[in-house]
Structure 1
Amino acid sequence: MKKYYHLFFLIGLLFLGCTKEKNDFSDKSITDTLAIYLDKANEESYSYEDRLNYNKKAFAILINQKNDSLNRVNLFKVANRYFNINNFGEYQKASQIILAKARSANDTVNIAKAYSYLGDYYTNTTRKDSAYSYYSKAEKIYLRLKDKENLFNTYLNISTIQSYENDFSGSEVSAIKALNVLDNSQNVEKRHRVYSQLGFISAELKDYEKALEYYNKALKLTLNSSQNLQVQKLNSLNNIGNVYQRQNKHNLAIEKFQQAIDEIHLVEDNSFLFAILLDNIGYSKFKIKDFSNLPELYFKSLKIREGLNERVGIIYVKIHLSEFYLERKDTLNAKRYANEALTLSKEVKNYRAVLAALKQTGVVDSEKSSDYSEEYIKINDSLQNAERKIKDKFARIEYETDEIIQQKDKLAEQNRNMIFFFGLVIMIGILLFVIRNQRARTQQLLLKQTQQKANEDIYNLMLFQQNKIEEGRINEKIRIAQELHDGILGRLFGARLNLDSLNKRQDDAAIDSRNLYLVELKNIEQDIREISHDLNREKSAVNNNFVGIINNLIEQQENLSEAKVTFLIDMQIEWEKFDNTLKINLYRILQESLQNINKYAQAKNIKIEIKKSEKYLRMVISDDGIGFSVKKKSKGIGLQNMMSRAETSKGILDIKSKPGKGTTITISVPIETNTKIE
């Protein structure tokens, strides 16, 4: 026996090993498939539709997997790929799901990362206040975690948002925070980003010397670095040229722009920057009245920007073209390009560009100059008000974020103190619930028994009333039967005796007559006896007369409604064998159905059938009324009662109806469970 135990044990181990190997294989297959989808979604050589489709397939796999750290890492990959193909709607959806999963797992690092992703989403969809809110939440977490790298990116993102909304003071503070986070870090690219941001802020604040200082620091980093920072170098040259341009030092500006153009071939995918440099160098040349290569430089820039669909850049090139043609006394082209710039700026809803276009349009169109000036003032005032509001909103968001964190800490402390108390309350609550539930069940059982007894009493009362009516009929039938039996039958019997005595006459005619009378009298006697017995047999038929009760209900229906009622019943059904509860339930269901027909159906014909099969008793009530949608119809009290009565008898209530097609209600109850136990 012992060796059998060992055998079973080995078989079990083998089975478990095979199962585990199968599961590992399955998991490995899913992991491989996921990796393939993610790789293809990141492949730039594929079309947008293919990349989107592969990313959606990867997303579908991940969304149903267990919420572990690997699952969240892969979901971030999915979100990145949506961002890379500029599908910001799906990017936001994925980021929100990651945030929910990270919160569920209390994964602080990924909560902060999800906040940053949502900040990126709102930055790219022009919802700067929402972006600021999410970046601020991420900042608080990264501060607690002392995560300098992510804290740097967050500060710089906040600074960029603030500069978008012309909150340059706040933007400068955030950029300096980002710079301080770097400490003595040798990350050249990050320092270049901060110096460039600080240079932009200083230029917007018209502190041009400080702006040049920051831009030159950024340029110096690119010149001294061993890394390939050619793009950053050209951006720095362009930025320095822009500052000189604002200072009206156009020769110096042209020098920087030209230096960048000479090296533009060293940068891949340089069309965007090349268009900017062409426009900038053209504008500086125009300002010093050097019209060589003008307006060709503008047109080259315009063509590139139209190919890139860079609409804001298109607006400024057309403004520069308008200025050029106005200088050349070509008023027609000057107005044309100014109006095109104004129209496009309103389409893209870039109100800075709208102001620039309005200013130029007012210059070239002196007749409507006052209208353009008025619109310019109105939009400018609105922008200033919006800027003030957004600054206040940023401050309020930061305050509210700090307040929420403080409240969260207090709530955490309160929760720790109250866990034991709530646990005790829950235990007491469960105990009380069990006791109350048990009492409720007991009361429900008593109520059901009382209701059943009441139903039986009602039915017996109905039977009593029906029996009283039938009793009068039976008494009358008995009286007639007695008259037939005691009167007519007696006289006919005497006549038969008299005729029988005539048999003493032996002539043929008398014999034939007597025989005919005797046969006839016997036939009459037999007919009368049969009538008498039939009348007496009806006495037992009226006992427990459920059919009579139904007939009374149908008579009431015919008096209340003009609808024609057809009643068909299987006369072989032995109603005395069925429980009174079943009869009451069938009666009440029929009664409720007829009431509903009278109220709503507008029927002309009603058909009621009661039939019996081998195992079931069925009642079908149909009408040709207006019907209704079974799916849309709410279950009122009447319908609920009908269903409850069917369930009480272990039966099924089925309702079929369509608008304009009438209604059919079928009640099927099992015969076995509704038969009286003898």
Structure 2
Amino acid sequence: MKNYFSFLLLLFLPFGCNDTNGNKAIEKTINDSSSLYLIKAQRKGAKSSEKLKYFKKSLNVLKNQQNDSITRGKLFELTKDLYKNNFENDFLNSANLLAKLSLKSKDSFHLAQAYRIKGNYYKNLINPDSAFIYYTESEKILKKLKNKEGLSFILINKSIIQFDAGDYTGADRTLNNAYLISKKNNEIDNLYATSVMMGLTSLETKDYDKAIQYFNNGLNIISKTNSLLGQFNRETCLNNIGLSYQRKGNYSKSIEYFSSGLKNKSIKNDDPELYSLLLDNLGFSYLKVGDLDKAYKLILEALKIREELNYPNLIVLSKVHLSEYYRQIKDTSSSKRFITEALSLAKKEKTLRDYLPALKQASLIDTKNASSYSKEYIRLSDSIRNIEILSQEKFARIQLETDEIIEEKGKLEEKNRTLLYVFLGVMVVVSLLFIVRAQRARTRELVYKQAQQKANEDIYNLLISQQNIIDESRTEEKKKIARDLHDGVLGRMFGARLNLDSLNGKTDEESIKKRLGYLEELKNIEQDIREISHDLNREKQVLINNFVSIVSNLLEEQNASHEAELVHYIDNTIQWDKINNTTKINMYRMLQESLQNINKYAKATQINVEFKKIEENLVLTILDNGEGFDVNKKNKGIGVQNMISRTHECNGIIDISSIKGTGTSIIITIPIETKKEIIET
């Protein structure tokens, strides 16, 4: 018979807790389109189709917004509104989206709320298994968060599912937890609902004194609070207390409470279902104390209301009571008629719990078939008990499986974390080994380059030393030639000049012949001087072109070995013999380093090299049309650092400019420091 009173409790259960996580609720911002649509949907007088249109628009906006706490808070508000307005499909879409976003962002609070709302949804669909699973999931999350807001509401709903399935022990355990939380948080609504549910549970387990105690506790809560929890909560408690006394056999006390409940005349119009309950229960109590006239009127009035409301289960109960009335006044035919109608209706509606009292009454009236009714009653009672036992086991299994899934999930997460740490550790070790190996290779390469540079420097120094020896030899040769000119050619010229002077003024044939002879001698001297001059000229050119030759060889080798086209120009006004060897070496090395860098990195197709004399400076310009590089990079290569160092060694200036994709320009300007000239004496 619990279906006749448990539904009253559901009328007073709130939808749920506030959207809070220990902080203030998320406020809607009216400048957000999703909130604007939500406000339009919540307007008074809005049609159902109009509400749904704005709810859908709000949901579409939220789908495309960033997954943050504000979006999830608004989505939670929207989900609640869709639930309240019975838009089932859109509610499920919104609730599933809220759960998905909450899982993704690890928002445990909103995930718990999503599960809680889905639990409400499936409970109303009379799908207790799904409802129980979602309530359990929500309960576990809120307990883990140590957030008691809304937890009592979830526990109350879980207890209702357990209660309806006949799991009274499980329901009582759940309700005790809900009561403690509601009392601690001073949740008046939930405290009242918990007291009533605990009373109903005690009523079903036939602990009538405890049931009366819990219902009276509910009455005390109503009397102490200024706000009304529900319109007829007091009358509901009075009905339940009267029902407890009726089950206990104290009919006079039950009549007192049922009558007290009926004193509120507004129940008849505002809550006819509760009114019919009070009438029928009062009529049955009068029936038990022998006041048959009052009993008949009350039960008949209750039946009429129930038939108008079309409540089959309550109609069955009224007809069972009327059958009992006719049995007591010895009208067997009417008694049989009403009990037959009650059995038929209970069987048609497949309400087993309504069928039981009808079978019990039928066994009392139809003595001929009493045995078959009793057997059917026992069979059905056992069947219901088995179903209740199976339900208890089922909910225990769901709870256990949920715990096992959570435990398995925890183990899997731990295993994944371990694998991740191992993978990261291996990656770190491999990376370190790669870095060490790469660093060693780079070090070997640098050592090799340094050795190569040293060898090249030694070779060039040998070339320069050889050139110095050649210069010294040529200087000696010059001195020798100077002596030969002084002692030979000049002496002959002086003698020829004196002889010609002595022949001036003489016109005889012999004098003329001598004069012609001396003129021929002067021609020979002139030829000797010309030849000496030519020899000296060639020697100077060779001397001058020695550095140029080395540079030219380098440039020719570049052209021969690489695809880039190289164009070079060497200013012929540069007096290379007056430039010191250190400057030449550094200039050669910087040119060599630049060409190496171009070949390695630039991917150039055109290279220009120029040696120019600008005022008192020697300027080396190297241009390429390659990929370029970032000249502002802090860590410059060792080659570039060497070029800068060599330039500073020569008291010069180096300008390196480069733009990625357009090539590189290197301009080296070094002041000309002439070698100390040899002063002849």
Q: TM-score, normalised by structure 1?
A: 0.53
Residues 1:78 and 1:335: Cα distance change in structure 2 (over 3 Å): farther
CA RMSD, Structure 1 to Structure 2 (Å) = 3.3
Is the CA contact 1:129–1:390 (under 8 Å) kept in the aligned structure 2?
no
Partner of 1:96: 96
Aligned length: 400
Q: 2:38 aligns with which of 16, 25, 34?
A: 34
Report if the CA contact (8 A) 1:305-1:314 is conserved: yes
Whichever residue aligns with residue 374 of structure 1, its letter is K
5 Å-filtered alignment, 1:229-240, equals 229=229, 231-240=232-241
Query: Residues 346 and 170 of structure 1: is their aligned pair in 2 closer, same or farther, counting only changes over 3 Å?
Result: same
CA distance in 2, matches of 1:334, 1:49: 51
Q: Which sections of structure 1, spanning at least 5 residues, go unmatched?
A: 1-24, 428-678
Deviation of residue 227 (structure 1)? 2.4
Aligned partners of 1:102 and 1:115: how far apart in 2?
11
Q: What SS does the aligned partner of 1:292 have?
A: helix
Relative distance call for 1:368 and 1:410 in structure 2 (3 A) is same
2 CA distance for matches of 1:423 and 1:69?
32
Whether the aligned pair in 1 keeps the contact of 2:166 and 2:389 (CA below 8 Å) is: no
> Which sections of structure 2, spanning at least 5 residues, go unmatched?
1-28, 429-681
2:417 is matched with 416
Q: Indicate if the aligned counterparts of 1:250 and 1:287 stay in contact, CA closer than 8 A.
A: yes
Which structure has more relative contact order (CA 8 Å, sep 6+)? It is 2
C-alpha deviation, 1:295, in angstroms: 2.9
Structure 1 residues 55-88: Cα deviation after superposition (integer angstroms, max 9, x where no partner): 5565565556554444444444444345435565
Matches within 5 A, 1:286-435: 286-419=287-420
Q: Distance in 2 between matches of 1:53 and 1:378?
A: 53
Cα 1:47–1:219 change in 2 (3 A) is same
Once residues 396 and 299 of structure 1 are traced to their aligned partners in structure 2, the CA distance between those partners, rounded to angstroms, is 45
Instruction: State the AA in 1 paired with 2:222.
Output: T
Give the 3 Å change call, closer, same or farther, for CA 94–286 of structure 1 in structure 2.
farther
SS at match of 2:293: coil
Structure 1 residues 199 and 26: alpha-carbon distance in aligned structure 2, compared to 1, 3 A threshold: closer
Change (3 A) 1:49 1:334: farther
8 Å CA contact 1:275, 1:304 repeated in 2 = yes
Residues 320 and 361, structure 2, Cα contact 8 Å, conserved in 1: yes
Alpha-carbon distance between aligned partners in 1 of 2:30 and 2:187, rounded to the nearest angstrom: 44
Q: Secondary structure at the match of 1:166?
A: coil
Are the counterparts in 2 of residues 167 and 387 from structure 1 also a CA contact under 8 Å? yes
Per-residue CA deviation, residues 178-220 of structure 1 (Å, 9 max, x unaligned), is 1222354443332222221222222222111122222222212
The residue aligned with 1:84 is 84
Q: Does 1:171 align with 2:185?
A: no
CA contact (8 A) 1:253 1:284 kept: yes
One-letter amino acid of the structure 2 residue matched with residue 235 of structure 1: T
Cα separation, 2, equivalents of 1:273 and 1:131: 27
State the secondary structure of the residue aligned to 2:232.
Answer: helix
Q: 1:31 to 1:147 in 2, by over 3 A?
A: closer
Q: How does 1:215-234 map to 2 (within 5 A)?
A: 215-229=215-229, 231-234=232-235
Partners of 2:112 and 2:98 lie apart in 1 by 11
C-alpha spacing 1:330/1:47, structure 2 compared with 1 (3 Å): farther
1:282: Cα distance to partner? 1.3
The answer on whether the counterparts of 2:38 and 2:55 sit within 8 Å (CA) in structure 1 is: no
Give 2:148's aligned amino acid.
Answer: K
Measured in 1, the distance between the counterparts of 2:64 and 2:301 equals: 52
**Structure 2 residue 158 is the aligned partner of structure 1 residue 158:** yes
Separation of aligned partners in 1, 2:364 and 2:56: 52
* CA distance in 2 between partners of 1:400 and 1:163 (Å): 21
| Whole-angstrom distance in 2 between the partners of 1:307 and 1:424 | 76
Q: How far is 1:259 from its partner?
A: 0.9
> What secondary structure does 1:284 align onto?
helix
Q: Which residue type is aligned with residue 249 of structure 1? A: N
> Is contact 2:267-2:275 (8 Å) kept?
no
2:532 counterpart residue number = none
Q: CA separation in 2, counterparts of 1:30 and 1:133? A: 31
Task: State the distance in 2 between where 1:396 and 1:283 align.
Answer: 41
Q: Displacement of 1:412 after TM fit?
A: 2.3
**Paired position in structure 2 for 1:117:** 117
The 8 Å contact of residues 264 and 270 in structure 1, kept in 2 or not, is answered as no
TM-score by length of 2: 0.53
Partners of 2:276 and 2:306 within 8 A in 1: yes
| Contact 2:37–2:57 under 8 Å retained in 1 | no
Task: Determine what percentage of the aligned residue pairs are the same residue.
Answer: 35
Q: Which deviations, in whole Å up to 9, do the C-alpha atoms of 1:262-314 show, x marking residues without a partner?
A: 12528983222212111111111111121234433223323333444433222
Q: How does 1:405-554 map to 2 (within 5 A)?
A: 405-419=406-420
Q: Which residue of 1 aligns with 2:139?
A: 139
